[in-house]
Structure 1
């Protein structure tokens, strides 16, 4: 059994690391390269960096900043944001990023999943699904950029993106995102976790105990934002990550008979 992973999930906006709550209320966290250096020192498992600047008009890939980020990162790193073509994916992978994360474009142009997978291998393709409850409290795949729900069964959609060549899946619970309200088994009930690719869960994780409880289910990793960048009820910025002893305590039960 592969060891479970704890992954910092960072939002990049222009040249800043920011945090959101339910994809709203953007707050400044810090300088991208300074935060990267801290996570380097803390020997994190890997990092997911998502550029949310595309929410603004005239978006362009921040090539020079991304080159710096990739060159100074000591751990595997996944990048998402503004990747709309095979050429974009090739550019990012050639910088030194290990994986490409597709979100909106996976909905609008799912064939790109297959193109990247065919050219660079499925291990390089991560698809992120944003899940949100509609007016009837039913959990649906959500397209943030167009502010609409996708009228397709979640598990059917997951099977489709796997068939196209996705090598890893990030499932993000929008209603929990940035709230530190907790993410529990009840949130996972609508999702068939018995699939053949690794699953990363994100959205609202609020404690080490919450992480440990989630790891008892069929998931491979948790992606954390607020829990790793804020401290206390007033959200003072404090970059943190479980030390070696804490990580062992979170995952050691997995290796017992």
Structure 2
């Protein structure tokens, strides 16, 4: 099975696509509908949409927006942002969302178990935000913004609770375009039996392949698929299918 490359698109409270740096400074990327259409044409493996303001502002998923976006999306769609209950997942699924991404909600063990039992582990993804660098120094930010728990312990608890996939996201490298935290990826993927998606720091295809070589089942990024050059000019891109095949053969060669 070929490993995946996944564009991760961040949506703000105004339904705009943005890209953050270390979860802070935001750069406007474009209209989400136009960008999704472009990724349709590029035959993207799957796409992940994260509403980064939903939890912060205390609201649930923007169901109307997701419904409209899903009608334009011809690839597997994962969505996260403001999910606090099973009914929201059922509603999102009705409109075409295949995977549900829990961020702060992943710290709610009961919620994790309920979604896994009803929707199936294959549909449940936990986005684990990690601060710091390397396997030893990294910690997970909880729902209150405090740093707690070793990442590997938290990921293993999520796996045991029924999560089917982990997005391992580096806060320290978010938007920097200097490459993934490969040490962290190796340390987590060696312990888990479920797929791990690397996120945070990739700026080009070489970085994506490094993440896969480090053990990730998928390499995800916002910057690598939306920016080009030192000045971060917006350019929506994705490797051609034949290039992906060549890279996959090289990785397994």
Output the TM-score relative to the length of structure 2. 0.93
Match of 1:91 in 2: 91
Indicate conservation of the 8 Å contact 1:77/1:98, yes or no: yes
Match of 1:3 in 2: 2
State the 1:58 CA deviation.
5.0
Match of 1:104 in 2: 104
State the 1:159 CA deviation.
1.3
State the 1:44 CA deviation.
0.3
Match of 1:77 in 2: 77
Match of 1:162 in 2: 159
Query: CA offsets per residue over residues 171-208 of structure 1, 9 Å max, x none?
Result: 01110001101125334354243422111001101222
Indicate conservation of the 8 Å contact 1:183/1:206, yes or no: no
Report the number of matched residues. Answer: 250
Indicate conservation of the 8 Å contact 1:205/1:227, yes or no: yes
Output the TM-score relative to the length of structure 1. 0.91
In structure 2, the gaps of 5 or more residues are: none
Match of 2:146 in 1: 148
SS in 1 for 2:213: coil
Mapped to 2, the partners of 1:33 and 1:50 lie a distance apart of 14
50-59 or 75-84, larger mean C-alpha shift = 50-59
Mapped to 1, the partners of 2:78 and 2:39 lie a distance apart of 14
Mapped to 2, the partners of 1:207 and 1:248 lie a distance apart of 17
1:203 maps onto 2:204 in alignment: no
- Aligned residue runs from structure 1 range 231-250, under 5 A: 231-250=228-247
Indicate conservation of the 8 Å contact 1:155/1:192, yes or no: no
Indicate conservation of the 8 Å contact 1:193/1:199, yes or no: no
Instruction: Pick closer, same or farther for the CA change 1:138–1:47 going to 2, 3 Å.
Output: same
Match of 1:42 in 2: 42
Mapped to 1, the partners of 2:16 and 2:160 lie a distance apart of 35
State the 1:12 CA deviation.
0.8
Mapped to 2, the partners of 1:244 and 1:57 lie a distance apart of 39
Indicate conservation of the 8 Å contact 1:194/1:218, yes or no: no
RMSD: 1.7
Match of 2:68 in 1: 68
Query: CA offsets per residue over residues 206-254 of structure 1, 9 Å max, x none?
Result: 2222222222232110111111111111111111111123212321124
Indicate conservation of the 8 Å contact 1:208/1:250, yes or no: no
Match of 1:21 in 2: 21
Instruction: Work out which of the residue numbers 210, 213, 227 in structure 1 matches 2:210.
Output: 213
Instruction: Pick closer, same or farther for the CA change 1:160–1:98 going to 2, 3 Å.
Output: same
Mapped to 1, the partners of 2:180 and 2:214 lie a distance apart of 12
Instruction: Pick closer, same or farther for the CA change 1:192–1:56 going to 2, 3 Å.
Output: closer
